[in-house]
Structure 1
Amino acid sequence: MGGTGCIRAAGPENPFVPPAPVPRTKRVGRLELIRIIYRNPLELWGEPSYNEPWVEVDWMGMRTIIANDPGLIRHVLVDNAKNYRMAAVRQRILRPILRDGLLTAEGEVWKRSRKAMAPVFTPRHIHGFASAMQERSEAFAGRYQTPGVVSDVARDMTLLTYDILAATLFSGEIAGEPGQFAKEIDNLFETMGRVDPLDLLGAPQWLPRFTQIRGRRSLAFFRKIVADTVAMRKDRMAKGEDVPSDFLTLLLKTEGPDGLSRAEIEDNIITFIGAGHETTARALGWTLYLLAEAPWERDIVEAEIDSFMREGPVPPHQWLDRLPLTRAAFEEAMRLYPPAPSLNREAVEDDRYGDLTIEKGSTVLAMPWTIHRHRLYWENPDAFIPARFHPENRGKIDRFQYLPFGAGPRVCIGATFALQEGVIALAILLSRYRFDTVSQTKPWPVQKLTTQPEGGLPMKVTPRR
Structure 2
Amino acid sequence: MDMRPEPFEPPAPVPRTVPPSRLEIIRTVMRNPLELWGEPSYTLPWIHTKFFKERTLIVNDPGLIRHVLVDNAANYEMSEIRQLILRPILRDGLLTAEGDVWKRSRKAMAPVFTPRHAKGFAGQMLRQSELYAEKYAGCGPEGKVFDISVDMTELAFAILADTLFSGEIASQSEKFSDDVDQLLHRMGRVDPMDLLRAPSWVPRLTRIGGTKVLAKFRDIVFRTMEMRKDRMATDRANTPNDFLTLLLDLDGPDGLTLDEIEDNILTFIGAGHETTARALAWTLYCVANAPHVQAAMEEEIDRVLASRAEPVEWLELMPNVRASFEEALRLYPPAPSINRAAIMDDSWTSPSGEVVRIDAGVTVLIMPWTLHRHALYWEKPRAFMPERFLPENRGKINRFQFLPFGAGPRICIGATFALQEAVIALAVLMHRYRFEMTPETDPWPVQKLTTQPLNGLALRVRARSSSSSA
Question: Which TM-score applies when normalising by structure 1?
Answer: 0.96
Separation in 2, partners of 1:178, 1:229: 13
Letter in 1 for 2:292: W
- Partner in structure 1 of residue 232 of structure 2: 237
Do 1:435 and 1:460's aligned partners in 2 also have CA atoms closer than 8 Å? yes
- Partner in structure 1 of residue 209 of structure 2: 214
Does 2:366 align with 1:366? yes
Do 1:341 and 1:451's aligned partners in 2 also have CA atoms closer than 8 Å? yes
Does 2:294 align with 1:302? no
Letter in 2 for 1:110: W
Separation in 1, partners of 2:346, 2:209: 39
SS of 2:357 mapped into structure 1 = strand
SS of 1:18 mapped into structure 2 = coil
Separation in 2, partners of 1:27, 1:376: 21
Separation in 2, partners of 1:57, 1:337: 25
Shift of 1:218: 1.1
- Aligned match for 1:268, one of 249, 264, 269: 264
- Aligned match for 1:74, one of 66, 69, 73: 66
Letter in 2 for 1:204: P
Letter in 2 for 1:379: E
Q: Can you list the C-alpha shifts for 1:37-78, whole angstroms capped at 9, x where unaligned?
A: 011000000000000000111112111011000000000000
Shift of 1:202: 2.1
Letter in 2 for 1:226: V
Separation in 2, partners of 1:12, 1:270: 45
- Partner in structure 2 of residue 4 of structure 1: none
Shift of 1:348: 0.3
Separation in 2, partners of 1:101, 1:393: 36
Indicate how the Cα distance of structure 1 residues 265 and 168 shifts in structure 2: closer, same or farther if over 3 A, else same. same
Does 2:279 align with 1:283? yes
Do 1:149 and 1:458's aligned partners in 2 also have CA atoms closer than 8 Å? no
SS of 1:151 mapped into structure 2 = strand
Letter in 2 for 1:36: T
- Partner in structure 1 of residue 48 of structure 2: 56
Do 2:334 and 2:404's aligned partners in 1 also have CA atoms closer than 8 Å? yes
Do 1:293 and 1:437's aligned partners in 2 also have CA atoms closer than 8 Å? yes
Does 2:153 align with 1:153? no
Separation in 2, partners of 1:218, 1:71: 42
SS of 2:208 mapped into structure 1 = helix
Letter in 2 for 1:229: T
Separation in 1, partners of 2:413, 2:181: 23
Gaps of 5+ in 2: 350-354
Q: Can you list the C-alpha shifts for 1:381-411, whole angstroms capped at 9, x where unaligned?
A: 0000000000000000000000000000000
- Partner in structure 1 of residue 457 of structure 2: 457
Q: What are the residue-to-residue correspondences of 1:53-132 with 2, within 5 Å?
A: 53-132=45-124
Do 1:54 and 1:68's aligned partners in 2 also have CA atoms closer than 8 Å? yes
Letter in 2 for 1:108: D
Q: What are the residue-to-residue correspondences of 1:180-191 with 2, within 5 Å?
A: 180-191=175-186
Indicate how the Cα distance of structure 1 residues 180 and 139 shifts in structure 2: closer, same or farther if over 3 A, else same. closer
Q: What are the residue-to-residue correspondences of 1:363-442 with 2, within 5 Å?
A: 363-442=363-442
Separation in 1, partners of 2:365, 2:456: 28
Aligned residues: 455
Q: Which piece of structure 1 moves more, 44-53 or 235-244?
A: 235-244
Shift of 1:427: 0.4
Gaps of 5+ in 1: 1-9
Letter in 2 for 1:377: Y
Do 1:437 and 1:460's aligned partners in 2 also have CA atoms closer than 8 Å? yes
SS of 1:179 mapped into structure 2 = coil
Do 1:11 and 1:294's aligned partners in 2 also have CA atoms closer than 8 Å? no
Shift of 1:204: 3.0
Letter in 2 for 1:418: A
Separation in 2, partners of 1:108, 1:187: 31
Separation in 1, partners of 2:172, 2:435: 30
Separation in 1, partners of 2:459, 2:405: 28
Letter in 2 for 1:261: T
Separation in 1, partners of 2:154, 2:212: 21
- Partner in structure 2 of residue 5 of structure 1: none
Shift of 1:206: 2.5
Letter in 1 for 2:14: V
Separation in 2, partners of 1:326, 1:306: 12
SS of 2:50 mapped into structure 1 = strand
Q: Can you list the C-alpha shifts for 1:134-173, whole angstroms capped at 9, x where unaligned?
A: 0000010011011233330110000001100010000000
Do 1:194 and 1:449's aligned partners in 2 also have CA atoms closer than 8 Å? yes
Shift of 1:212: 2.3
SS of 2:174 mapped into structure 1 = helix
Do 2:146 and 2:461's aligned partners in 1 also have CA atoms closer than 8 Å? no
Do 1:191 and 1:215's aligned partners in 2 also have CA atoms closer than 8 Å? yes
SS of 1:364 mapped into structure 2 = strand
Separation in 2, partners of 1:174, 1:197: 35
Question: Which TM-score applies when normalising by structure 2?
Answer: 0.95
Q: Can you list the C-alpha shifts for 1:409-459, whole angstroms capped at 9, x where unaligned?
A: 000000000000000000000000000010111000000110000021111
Shift of 1:178: 5.4
- Partner in structure 1 of residue 253 of structure 2: 257
SS of 2:27 mapped into structure 1 = helix
Shift of 1:308: 1.1
Letter in 1 for 2:68: V
Shift of 1:324: 0.8
Shift of 1:205: 2.7
Separation in 2, partners of 1:159, 1:323: 24
Separation in 1, partners of 2:3, 2:208: 49
SS of 2:149 mapped into structure 1 = helix
Does 2:199 align with 1:194? no
Q: What are the residue-to-residue correspondences of 1:158-169 with 2, within 5 Å?
A: 158-169=153-164
SS of 2:58 mapped into structure 1 = strand
Letter in 2 for 1:305: I
